[in-house]
Structure 1
Amino acid sequence: MKTVGIFRNQLFKGSEVFIQQQAEALQHFEKRYIGRRVIGKKPEGAIACVLNERGDLHGKIAEMMNAITTSARPYNAVLREQSLDLIHAHFAIDGLYALKLAQQKNIPLVTTLHGFDVTVSNKDLLASRSPAWINYLIHQQKVKSQGDKFICVSDFIAQQALRHGFPENKLVQHYIGIDVDKYQPREKEDDQGVILHVARLVEKKGTAVLINAIKHVKAQYAEAKLVIIGDGPLMAGLKAQVASLGLERNVTFTGALPHADVMAWMRKASMLVLPSITAKTGDAEGLGMVLLEAAVTGVPVIGTQHGGIPEAIIDEHTGFLVTERDDKQLADRISFLLNDEQKRAEMGRNARHFISEKFNLSTQTLKLEKIYQELIHG
C-alpha cells in the first residue's frame, strides 16, 4: 500500500479538525503526519513525524532552522525510516515548506488551498512578520511552478487561485466533505432555541456583525440566546461590544472547545450562523466547514453571500444567505427561524440531504485518492 505524508507545519489544530478527518478517511493509502510540532490531539493510532517532538533544545533548533530557511534537512532524521510516495500539504504557505522535502524524496506534492493563502494581500503577508508568511511572499512563484497539483476547497477558491497566478492546468476543485454516517440528525426535542456561532474570533468570521444583529433580535425575543464557541485575538473586544449593547444575558462565550463538545452544541442549536465578511487584509472564507457540520446534524444554517459560503447553503431551502455586514437583514432571518419551529425542522432536513449528496466524505475521499493515484503513477 502506498503512503501519503499529510503535511502541516503545526499539526492537529483544534480549528482544523477537517484536515485529519479527511486523512483518517483514506482507505487505500497509509498516512504519516508530518510537521514541525503537534499542538492538538493526535488521532488514535496516528503516526506523527515532527521536528520538535519533545520540546527540547535540539527540537527547537530544528524547528527554527526549518521556519527560517525552508530547508528540508531537519526532516532527514525524523523521516529516515519512513517510505513516502506523495506529500499532501495543507495551505499554500505549508506547500512551500513541503516542496523541498518532496523534491528531495523525488515524489509528487499536492497542496490544498483553503482560504487566506489565496485571499490575503501580499502587503499583509509582509506585515504579518511571520517567517513562514514572508518566506511564502518571496518564494510563492516557486510553489506555483514546481508544485504538482493544487486542490481548491471551493469554486470560489479556484477562482482566487487563478487570480493569484496558480497555473490553471494544476488546479482541481474538490470539497473535503464530512462523515455523514458518523453524525446522525438530531431529534426534534434536542432543539433548545440556541443561536450558535462557531468560529475563530478574527475579523473574517463576522462575529461583531452577529452581535449587532442580536441587539435587534432581542427587541422581539428578549430571551434570545447566542452561544459563541471559539477563541481568538478579538475576544476582548467582542466581550466589550456585548457589554456596551447590554447583551450580557443574551450572549455566552465558551472559548475554544474540543470538537466533540462543539458537535454536542450543534444538536442543541436552532440554527448555526456564520456571517463571514471580507477582512481588511482581503482574507475571505474558503467554504466554512462548520456549515457542513451543522447541516449534517439537521440544523438550518445562515451565512453570507461571501467567499465559498453560497456553495454550502441553498438560500431559503437549507437556510438563508444574507448580505455581508447587514446586521438588520441577518436579524430578520434569525428572528424568522426562531419564530417558526416547523420551518427550522424542514430546512434542517433539507440541509442534511444536500450535504449528504454534495459533501459526503466517503465519496469525496475516493475522488481524493484518485488524484493521489494519478500523481503517483504519472
Structure 2
Amino acid sequence: MRDGPVPAPVAVVLKGYPRLSETFIARELLGLEERGLSLRLFSLRQPYDAKTHPVHARISAPVTYLPEYLHREPLRVLRAWARARRLPGYRAARAIWLRDLWRDRTRNRLRRWGQALVLAAEMPADVAWIYVHFLHTPGSVGRYAARLTGRPFSLSAHARDIWTSPAWEKAEKLADARWTVTCTEAAARHLDGLAPGRVTLLYHGLDLDTFPPPPAPVDDDRDGTDPTRPVRLLAVGRAVPKKGFDRLLRALAALPDDVRWTLTHIGGGAEARALKALAESLGLADRITWHGAQAQTAVIEAYRAADLFVLPCIVAGDGDRDGLPNVLMEAQSQGLACLSTDLSGIPELIVDGETGVLVPPDDVPALTAALAGLIADPATRRRLGAAGQARVRTRFDNRAELTRLAGLFHRDLAGVGGAG
C-alpha cells in the first residue's frame, strides 16, 4: 500500500470486464489499487463468462458499461452527443474520428465514436487521466474521449491489437498518448519502430501469491508405456486459431499408437466445436477431455495434476498472434514442464532446452517429435519443470512491474485535475 493522499481517479477503458481470459488485467487493476490509485472502469462490452476469478471480487473500482451496440441505447447515445458537442475538444475529436472513418469505413468505427461520446459525457468530473487496455477498438474510444474532454491518456498494448491493427492507426495513437506500455520485447521493438522512444517494456508477470509452489509430486514417473497410467497433457487457452490447438491434435494423431497419453483442454472460444469434430475425425476423442472456461482455482488444480503443458502458438491467417501467454507462466509456476513455440515473446520466458521446449510455429512434425520425447522422458520433464519454476519466480514476479506502472501514474497525476 502507498501512504499519502490518493491522487485523482483514473478512468480505465477495457474491451470487456470481467473476463476469465484476461486475468493479467484483473491482477493489474488490483495491484494499482493496492498502490494507492483510485480507478473507474469503463467496459465496451458486457461480461459473457458465467464465472469469475477470485481476484475480480477483490477489485473495488466501480464499472460502467458503455453501449455495446448503439442502436440498443439510442437515447443514451443522443444525450451523450448533445452534451459532448458543448465540450471544448469536440471539433478536434470529431475531425480525428472523421479522418479515421475515411480510412476505415466500418460499423465498428461508428460504434467507437458513439461509445467515446458516452464515455466523455458520463465520466465523473474528478477523473484526471484515461488509461486504455488494447490499442485497437478500446484505444480509439479512449483517444476520442481524451480529445473530447481535454484529458491526457495512456495505452497498454498486448497482442492481437498490435499485430492486426494498421500501421497508420498504431503510429497516430502512440503519438497522441502520453506514454504506452507493452508486455514483450518483440512488441516493444515493433511499436518503437512506429513511434521511437514512446514505448516502455513492462511485463505483466505473475501474482506469485495466487500461484504458490505446488506440493511435492508423488506420481511423476509416467513415460507413456503403461495403458493404465498415461502421460497427462494439459492445454489451457481459448479455442481460437492463434493458439494452434488444431496443430496439437494433428501432432498427437501422428504419435505411435502404443504411446499412452490423455489431453485435458480448458478454455472457451469459437473454435471449440470444430476442434472436437477434428479430434473425432482423427480418432482421438476418447483420449481428450474438454472442460470449457474454468475459474482460476480449477485451472491451478489442473496444472498440478498434469505431467506436461502444451501451447503450440502460431500466427493466425489475419496476423493475430500471442504475445507472452500468461498460462505459460502459470504452468511453470507450478513446476510443470512446458512445450510451446518460438513465437513473439515466448522465448523471453522459455529458454529452449533449459526451462522448457520450443519448436517452430506451425511445424506439426517438430511438435510431434517434441511430444514423443517429453512423454517418454519423465526425468527431463522434472528438470525442465523445476528450471521453469525457478525462472518465473525470479524473473517474472509481477510486484516489481506493478510498482513501475503505478509510479508512472503517480508521477503524472501530480497536479493534474479533472476535466470535462
Which TM-score bucket, shorter chain as reference? Answer: 0.7 to 0.9
| Aligned counterparts of 1:113 and 1:253: Cα–Cα separation in 2 | 31
SS for the counterpart of 1:151 is strand
SS for the counterpart of 2:218 is helix
The answer to whether 1:293 aligns with 2:357 is no
- Greater shift, 188-197 or 55-64, is seen at 55-64
Aligned to 1:32: 40
CA deviation string 1:77-108 (max 9, x = no partner)? 5433x622322211102111112333344433
Aligned to 1:373: 410
Shift of 1:283: 1.4
Structure 1, gaps ≥5 residues long = 123-136
CA contact (8 A) 1:113 1:150 kept: yes
Aligned to 1:157: 187
Aligned to 1:73: 117
- Name the aligned partner's letter for residue 99 of structure 1: R
- Name the aligned partner's letter for residue 157 of structure 2: L
Judged with a 3 Å threshold, the aligned counterparts in structure 2 of structure 1 residues 232 and 61 are, in CA distance, closer, same or farther, namely: farther
| Aligned counterparts of 1:333 and 1:100: Cα–Cα separation in 2 | 48
- Name the aligned partner's letter for residue 175 of structure 1: Y
- Name the aligned partner's letter for residue 265 of structure 1: A
Judged with a 3 Å threshold, the aligned counterparts in structure 2 of structure 1 residues 98 and 368 are, in CA distance, closer, same or farther, namely: same
Aligned to 1:219: 257
Shift of 1:372: 2.0
**1:48 corresponds to which of 53, 63, 85:** 63
What pairs up with 1:152-301 in 2 under 5 angstroms? 152-163=182-193, 165=194, 167-187=195-215, 188-189=217-218, 193-222=231-260, 224-301=261-338
* Larger-Rg structure: 2
Shift of 1:225: 0.6
| Aligned counterparts of 1:218 and 1:91: Cα–Cα separation in 2 | 43
**1:90 corresponds to which of 114, 130, 133:** 133
CA contact (8 A) 2:44 2:115 kept: no
| Aligned counterparts of 1:103 and 1:356: Cα–Cα separation in 2 | 41
| Aligned counterparts of 2:188 and 2:112: Cα–Cα separation in 1 | 29
| Aligned counterparts of 1:72 and 1:282: Cα–Cα separation in 2 | 27
- Name the aligned partner's letter for residue 113 of structure 1: A
Shift of 1:353: 1.4
CA deviation string 1:125-169 (max 9, x = no partner)? xxxxxxxxxxxx885554232111111110111122245x2x122
CA deviation string 1:157-216 (max 9, x = no partner)? 1122245x2x12211111011111221122203768421111111211111111111123
Judged with a 3 Å threshold, the aligned counterparts in structure 2 of structure 1 residues 312 and 65 are, in CA distance, closer, same or farther, namely: closer
CA contact (8 A) 2:214 2:334 kept: yes
CA contact (8 A) 2:13 2:44 kept: no
Shift of 1:340: 2.8
CA deviation string 1:303-336 (max 9, x = no partner)? 1011111111011121101111222322222233
CA contact (8 A) 1:65 1:71 kept: no
CA contact (8 A) 1:20 1:43 kept: no
| Aligned counterparts of 1:177 and 1:110: Cα–Cα separation in 2 | 20
Aligned to 2:92: none
Judged with a 3 Å threshold, the aligned counterparts in structure 2 of structure 1 residues 364 and 67 are, in CA distance, closer, same or farther, namely: same
Note the aligned Cα RMSD (angstroms): 2.8
CA contact (8 A) 1:119 1:160 kept: no
| Aligned counterparts of 2:391 and 2:258: Cα–Cα separation in 1 | 31
Judged with a 3 Å threshold, the aligned counterparts in structure 2 of structure 1 residues 61 and 225 are, in CA distance, closer, same or farther, namely: farther
Judged with a 3 Å threshold, the aligned counterparts in structure 2 of structure 1 residues 71 and 140 are, in CA distance, closer, same or farther, namely: farther
Judged with a 3 Å threshold, the aligned counterparts in structure 2 of structure 1 residues 113 and 190 are, in CA distance, closer, same or farther, namely: farther
Aligned to 1:303: 340
User: Percent identical across equivalent pairs?
Assistant: 25
- Name the aligned partner's letter for residue 197 of structure 1: A
The answer to whether 1:107 aligns with 2:151 is yes
| Aligned counterparts of 1:153 and 1:202: Cα–Cα separation in 2 | 21
Judged with a 3 Å threshold, the aligned counterparts in structure 2 of structure 1 residues 46 and 375 are, in CA distance, closer, same or farther, namely: closer
SS for the counterpart of 1:92 is coil
CA contact (8 A) 1:120 1:281 kept: yes
| Aligned counterparts of 1:362 and 1:174: Cα–Cα separation in 2 | 12
| Aligned counterparts of 1:118 and 1:65: Cα–Cα separation in 2 | 17
| Aligned counterparts of 1:190 and 1:75: Cα–Cα separation in 2 | 53
CA contact (8 A) 2:38 2:61 kept: no
- Name the aligned partner's letter for residue 200 of structure 1: R
Aligned to 2:104: none
| Aligned counterparts of 2:199 and 2:127: Cα–Cα separation in 1 | 23
SS for the counterpart of 1:73 is helix
Shift of 1:56: 11
